[in-house]
């Protein structure tokens, strides 16, 4: 896949891979063996007919390929770019035994981009109005999927978004060079063309409660896709010094608020000369690569080794190419500052790997006497996010699990409150875009049946239960 050379791309926010041309796409698609029993499909959280869409590309029928994709995946332009294909579909491809797997993700991206760039987007037909009103809370991947599924079934759909722009992590979290915001805007505009109303600047839990939405505003069903956006901090000394950011804040300032282009945009962002990012996931990679593009020396500080890093392989690879330094088996001890309250350095400790912990990964154990000071002026804490209690605390009767995520029926996404469904990170904890979309798809089916008074499939006789 031709891509921007690392020297060039570390100075801009343009996408890294250029994308396939129709010729290269068809060539790559022809590598697919069209297995009779395709193993890749089982790895896809939304069960895309992978050989099906790839075959269409191979023969040059791009509209057909996007049609097949959209049967299962509402936002293929997004997923083609951000799914961890190496853990899902591509890892199961038979070709991966001896060679590279079929580049499923890149082909998905190609089909979606082709459709958008050629103005070929065919909007689905909308069923006659059912007279039912649905509120979707959160305009992130889960919510947008539910909105798109239910609008075509004839329901009236309103998406409520707390921020001033819809998209959720797709716009505030994932940087332009991985997922251009204009792609997300394009998809959201398609939803609006179908009739979905998007209302920004509404915090459900503050501006309205769920009860008010259902009793007073007339919504018959509600989907909660509010994410798990509460940033975790480490609790080490110096974490409140000026120049210490949660990854959420750093990325929101840069991506959503245009901070990477201050002062053209009013929101400032400390670029720093030397930035340390604590963490090893995709968000940490995003933060480190953004810092690099903003002109800083950028260091990833991760307490385990490269093998244990949860980030997508392509992101780690791109980060290495862009010159980001990786300090593995290193943990921060305290952040140092001056009298003005600004960061001047970070004291770190070297670790070694001991026995595995609950996640199955080997637990890092400090090496005594191995302290050293990293000379940095910005520290980005990217150690995870959890449930924000803002909505859940204001909804009596909404059953939560011990980590304060919403408990739902595994098959339907239904919560303990009748008519209220949930999916995505607020149910799973911080996870992926595709899993959120899968949850949205599952919930939208159940919500439609609920609204129309139809029974759930397993309420029917055993004979009738089957694959959708």
Minimum separation from the CB atom of position 175 to other proteins (A): 16
Minimum separation from the CB atom of position 28 to other proteins (A): 39
Quick one: 163 or 179, whose CB is closer to other proteins? 163
- Cβ pair 102, 28 in contact under 8 A: yes
Minimum separation from the CB atom of position 270 to other proteins (A): 8
Quick one: 66 or 222, whose CB is closer to other proteins? 222
Pairwise CA distance, residues 76 & 400, whole Å: 31
Quick one: 147 or 163, whose CB is closer to other proteins? 163
Nearest CA to 388 out of 282, 244, 229 is that of: 229
For residue 374, the cross-strand partners are 346
Torsion, Cα 457 462 464 466, to 10 degrees, reads 70
How many other C-beta atoms lie within 10 A of the C-beta of residue 220?
17
Quick one: 4 or 246, whose CB is closer to other proteins? 246
Please enumerate, as own/partner, the contacts of 315-321 that have beta carbons within 8 Å and a separation of 24 or more: 315/178, 315/282, 315/285, 315/286, 315/289, 316/285, 318/6, 318/16, 318/285, 318/289, 319/285, 319/288, 319/289, 321/6
DSSP three-state, residue 285: helix
Minimum separation from the CB atom of position 251 to other proteins (A): 9
Minimum separation from the CB atom of position 162 to other proteins (A): 5
Quick one: 21 or 240, whose CB is closer to other proteins? 240
- Cβ pair 143, 68 in contact under 8 A: no
Minimum separation from the CB atom of position 338 to other proteins (A): 10
From the number of C-beta atoms within 10 Å of its C-beta (0-12, 13-18, 19+), residue 26 rates as middle
- Cβ pair 76, 62 in contact under 8 A: no
Nearest CA to 140 out of 198, 83, 70, 68 is that of: 198
Minimum separation from the CB atom of position 232 to other proteins (A): 9
Nearest CA to 7 out of 16, 144, 112, 260 is that of: 16
Q: CA 279, 283, 289: angle at the middle one, nearest 5? A: 90
Quick one: 26 or 203, whose CB is closer to other proteins? 203
Query: Residues 175-209, buried b or exposed e (16+ Cβ, 10 A)?
Result: bbbbbbbebbeebbebbeebebebeeebbbbeebb
Quick one: 92 or 380, whose CB is closer to other proteins? 380
Quick one: 248 or 350, whose CB is closer to other proteins? 248
Quick one: 180 or 258, whose CB is closer to other proteins? 258
Quick one: 229 or 440, whose CB is closer to other proteins? 229
Minimum separation from the CB atom of position 312 to other proteins (A): 22
Minimum separation from the CB atom of position 196 to other proteins (A): 20
Minimum separation from the CB atom of position 264 to other proteins (A): 6
Residues binding other proteins (CB under 8 A): 162-164, 200-203, 206-208, 229-231, 233, 235, 239-240, 242-243, 245-246, 248-249, 252-253, 257-258, 262-268, 270, 340-341, 385, 388-390
Quick one: 43 or 205, whose CB is closer to other proteins? 205
Minimum separation from the CB atom of position 49 to other proteins (A): 36
From the number of C-beta atoms within 10 Å of its C-beta (0-12, 13-18, 19+), residue 147 rates as buried
Helices (H) and strands (E) in the chain, counts: 17, 16
Minimum separation from the CB atom of position 333 to other proteins (A): 18
Quick one: 5 or 218, whose CB is closer to other proteins? 218
Query: In the numeric block, which tokens belong to residue 171?
Result: 């716009």
Q: Terminus-to-terminus CA distance in the chain, angstroms?
A: 35
């Amino acid at each position: 896949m031709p891509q921007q050379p690392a020297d060039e791309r570390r100075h801009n926010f343009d996408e890294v891979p250029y994308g396939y041309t129709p010729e290269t796409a068809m060539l790559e698609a022809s590598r697919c063996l069209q297995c009779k029993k395709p193993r890749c499909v089982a790895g896809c959280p939304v069960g895309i007919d992978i050989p099906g869409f790839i075959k269409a590309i191979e023969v040059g029928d791009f509209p057909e390929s996007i049609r097949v994709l959209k049967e299962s995946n509402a936002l293929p332009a997004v997923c083609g770019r951000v799914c961890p294909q190496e853990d899902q579909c591509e890892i199961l491809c038979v070709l991966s035994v001896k060679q590279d797997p079929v580049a499923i993700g890149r082909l998905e991206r190609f089909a979606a981009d082709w459709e958008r760039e050629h103005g070929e987007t065919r909007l689905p037909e909308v069923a006659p109005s059912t007279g039912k009103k649905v509120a979707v809370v959160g305009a992130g991947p889960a919510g947008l999927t539910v909105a798109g599924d239910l609008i075509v079934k004839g329901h009236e759909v309103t998406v409520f978004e707390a921020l001033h722009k819809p998209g959720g992590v797709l716009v505030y979290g994932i940087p332009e060079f991985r997922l251009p915001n204009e792609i997300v805007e394009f998809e959201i505009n398609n939803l609006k063309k179908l009739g979905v109303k998007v209302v920004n600047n509404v915090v459900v839990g503050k501006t309205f409660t769920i009860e008010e939405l259902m009793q007073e505003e007339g919504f018959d069903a509600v989907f909660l896709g509010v994410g798990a956006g509460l940033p975790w901090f480490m609790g080490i000394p110096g974490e409140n010094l000026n120049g210490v950011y949660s990854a959420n804040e750093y990325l929101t300032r840069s991506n959503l608020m245009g901070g990477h282009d201050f002062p053209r945009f009013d929101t400032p962002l400390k670029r720093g000369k030397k930035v340390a990012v604590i963490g090893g996931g995709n968000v940490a990679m995003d933060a480190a690569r953004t810092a690099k593009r903003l002109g800083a020396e950028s260091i990833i500080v991760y307490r385990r080794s490269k093998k244990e890093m949860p980030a997508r392989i392509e992101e780690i690879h791109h980060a290495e190419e862009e010159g980001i330094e990786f300090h593995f088996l290193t943990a921060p001890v305290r952040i140092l500052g001056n009298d003005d309250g600004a960061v001047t350095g970070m004291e770190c400790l070297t670790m070694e790997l001991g026995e595995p912990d609950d996640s199955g990964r080997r637990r890092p154990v400090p090496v005594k006497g191995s302290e050293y000071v990293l000379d940095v002026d910005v520290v980005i804490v990217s150690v995870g996010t959890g449930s924000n209690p803002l909505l859940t605390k204001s909804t009596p009767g909404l059953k939560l699990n011990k980590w304060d995520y919403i408990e739902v029926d595994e098959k339907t996404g239904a919560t303990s409150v009748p008519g209220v469904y949930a999916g995505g990170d607020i149910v799973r904890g911080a996870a992926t875009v595709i899993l959120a979309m899968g949850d949205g798809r599952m919930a939208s089916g159940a919500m439609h049946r609920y609204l129309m008074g139809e029974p759930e499939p397993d309420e029917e006789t055993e004979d009738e239960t089957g694959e959708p």
